[in-house]
Structure 1
Amino acid sequence: MSDFSTVLSKVNDNYFPMIERQLTGNGIQMDQYSKSCVINAISSINNALDAKGITWNDDQLDRSNITQTLIQVASLKLNAAASPREVFFQVRNIKVKGPDNKDIWKKQVEMGIEGDGNDAILARFGRDVKKVGQFWLVREGDDFTYPVYTGFDVVPPKWTPKGKGDVIRIVYPIMKADNTVEFHIAERDDVSRNLIAHMSNNMMNETFGVCADRFKATPDQRKQIASRKSEIIQKAKSLGLAALDDPDLQPYISPAWTEPQSREGMLIRKMRNNVVKKIPKDFGHAFIELTYQEAADETYGEVQREIAENANRTVIDVDPEPVSEHRHQPEQQHGIPEGHEPKPTSNPETEPLQQQRSMDFGDEGTGGPESW
């Protein structure tokens, strides 16, 4: 236990000054709760590393994003020790450039925000949000009536729980600053869009046997891979959530989605996220807003990761068009006989400067001095 405490103390001493310095440099002061969130995050990250048999000083650990992850925790005030927890950490394999510019695999810590974390962010940063009410878990056997909107008047929804069947929708009552109440609803079927995004992310490095490494694929192989991915995504779209039980699609879906003991919890969490994320927020600081986009928006993170891994990798084949000789001939001015073109006029004030430029830099097309 003493060794464990010593390791975490050293990690805290290494990361805390950097985090506080960066936040202060962006005009954000760390309060005591933010510091507690960072300490709990470091402990949770240590558990995730320990589960993979990795230490903080391990060469295969990519430590470049740990500071940024802890900054996100501190600025958004997400508590990994809360119950239910607001944020979790997992270790992901990523490909990075080594010292000799060769691709090498490393372990990277990745942060994810749980449903209660999004609720905490909404309660803290929601625009004109006074209170976030307890969400409703509406099941198949429950009696439920949707709200009715007439101008500014709202007839609230009615829900009579019966406790039977799967959760088919989630309702969030939100009290605004003027004491009016809004009702935000997410449907179970809409989670299929989250599933499609999850599958696309899981297939990012998939080659379907076309080649061994997608980064070394030829243009034709890239087209084959893209075509296969499109077929799988289209099939998943047509099936909706029934795709979770399709044996052909399950290899591209994480077990947390497909296993019976975790499936319902995953679907509920995604429905909650779909509600909370669409409610406007005011972070009061551009740095915190950017931090939220990077941490909470799955699409934003996936797009940035895809750009980082695939930027400037597509080979564009261009067939050069043969140039005929007559295109190199200077165009003759109309109405002036050949050999009688007017000579360009010279400006005595600028001519010495033009000659000096010619001596210093070389004429256009000559390549300039040989010392360049």
Structure 2
Amino acid sequence: MTNQTPAVYKSQLAKINDTYMPQIETQLRGNGIHMTEYQRTCVINSISSINEMLVKEGIGVKDIDQSNLTQTLMHVAALQLNATATPREVYFIKRNQKIKNGGGNIQVIEMGIEGDGNDAILSRFGRNVKTVHRHWEVREKDAFTYPGYAGLQVTPPTWQPTGEGKVIRVVYPIEYNDGQVEYFISEREDVKSNLLAHMYNNLMWDNKKVEKKQKIKEFAETHSLDEILDNTEMQEAGNISPAWKEPQSRESMIVRKMRNRIVKKIPKDFSNAYIQSVVETVEDDFQTRQLQRKEAEIVEEIKENANSEVFEPVKEETTRPANVDENGEIQDVEYSEVDSIVDSFEESSDPY
């Protein structure tokens, strides 16, 4: 890495800010968005974060595809995601992208939304949402009572934390503009469907996938999330990633999945069509990129192992029903392969 004095480094960042900020502000204005000071702060923090990441890679901002970089910064500004918030709301990675028709490669930036970034989006764009209160992480030995309902009257849940045991549920108190407070709850066992989706996806190209899926299904019907993660046979059958099973990441993964199951499904209203398109683009592009990356890994593996082992042909499943709810969420976990790629990437590929 090139040694740089703080003064030189600061001067370079100032030049980068001066280059991109006017472009972003102009383009946002063209989409009906007048840039606020906080949006400027988010862009500046993102530029600093991206530049720091690129310096570690031994390259500079000028080496990145400029249209990609500008678009990424516009997405950050539109969603008001802060790369230096604690906890962080957005992160960035660099990757090579092939140019069609043999045009070589270009370097591009990918942005990923952290768990707290989803909270921030809900706070700003949640339908009639006034305040997203800090979520509760209820543990095994905590005293907890569920909310009660008598007509429109709600008896709030109670929680006495002890700090002992695994997190078994997450509760989001959401306050609306009319003063009503709703309590959205996700249980630890709800995450089993995310894990199964991850396991089924890993079997997508396995020549014994039908047999292995059946074995996983039968085991999952009578065992808990943690029993699946602790079972060596299931770990091997579903090729469970370290992000799910390793002690240092397992609990944070499960808590994050519980949080995401709540936050992503709460209705949102985007006052600006461009902002809505940004949210959809970030999510759709993220899913597409992971599918493309998965396919590239498979092709590379085939090349490396060509002629090394003979496989019996397996009849492919020709129908893949997908039950989709009103929010566009796939409910049949057996076929939610795109979601599982995104879920596993969110936890395992964060370089920080």
Please tell me whether the aligned partners of residues 244 and 250 of structure 1 are also in contact (alpha carbons under 8 angstroms): no
Pairing 1:302–2:287 present: yes
Segments of 5+ residues of structure 2 without an aligned counterpart are: 1-5, 296-352
Residue of structure 1 equivalent to 2:308: none
Following superposition of structure 1 onto structure 2, how do residues 257-296 of structure 1 map, counting pairs within 5 Å? 257-295=244-282
Equivalence for 1:31: 36
Q: How does 1:1-372 map to 2 (within 5 A)?
A: 1-58=6-63, 61-91=64-94, 93-97=95-99, 101-102=101-102, 104=104, 107-195=107-195, 225=205, 227=207, 239=220, 240=225, 242=227, 244-245=229-230, 246=232, 247-248=235-236, 253=241, 255-295=242-282, 297=283, 301-303=286-288, 306=291
Q: Is the partner of 1:169 in helix, strand or coil? A: strand
- Scaled by the length of structure 2, the TM-score of the pair is 0.69
CA distance in structure 1 between the aligned counterparts of 2:146 and 2:280, rounded to whole angstroms: 31
Q: 1: distance between equivalents of 2:145 and 2:237?
A: 35
The alpha-carbon deviation at position 269 of structure 1 amounts to 2.2
Q: Cα RMSD between the aligned structures? A: 3.2
Query: How far did residue 86 of structure 1 move?
Result: 1.6
Deviations 1:298-321 (A, max 9, x none): x773147648998xxxxxxxxxxx
| Contact 2:99–2:106, Cα closer than 8 Å, also in 1 | no
Bigger fraction of residues in helix: 2
Determine which structure has more spread, i.e. the larger CA radius of gyration. 1
The offset of 1:118, in angstroms, is 1.9
Aligned-partner Cα distance in 1 for 2:86–2:184: 24
Q: Which letter maps to 1:41?
A: S
Q: Deviation of residue 4 (structure 1)? A: 1.8
Shift of 1:195: 4.1
Quick one: distance in 2 between partners of 1:97 and 1:257? 34
Task: Specify the alignment match of 1:211 in structure 2.
Answer: none
CA distance in 1 between counterparts of 2:19 and 2:148 reads: 55
Q: Give 1:116 deviation, angstroms.
A: 2.1
Would you say the 8 A contact 1:38–1:73 is kept in 2?
yes
AA of the residue aligned to 2:248: Q
Answer yes or no: is the 8 Å Cα contact 1:243–1:249 preserved in 2: no
**SS, match of residue 121 in structure 1:** helix
Q: Distance in 1 between matches of 2:130 and 2:47?
A: 31
| Post-superposition CA distance 1:106-158 (Å, at most 9, x none) | 54322122222222222222111122222111111122222233442323222
Instruction: Select between 141-150 and 190-199 the one with higher mean Cα deviation.
Output: 190-199
Greater relative CO, 1 or 2 (CA 8 Å, sep 6+):
2
SS at match of 2:236: coil
Q: What displacement does 1:258 show?
A: 3.5
1:197 Cα offset (Å): 5.5
| Secondary structure at the counterpart of residue 189 of structure 1 | helix
Aligned residue pair count: 282
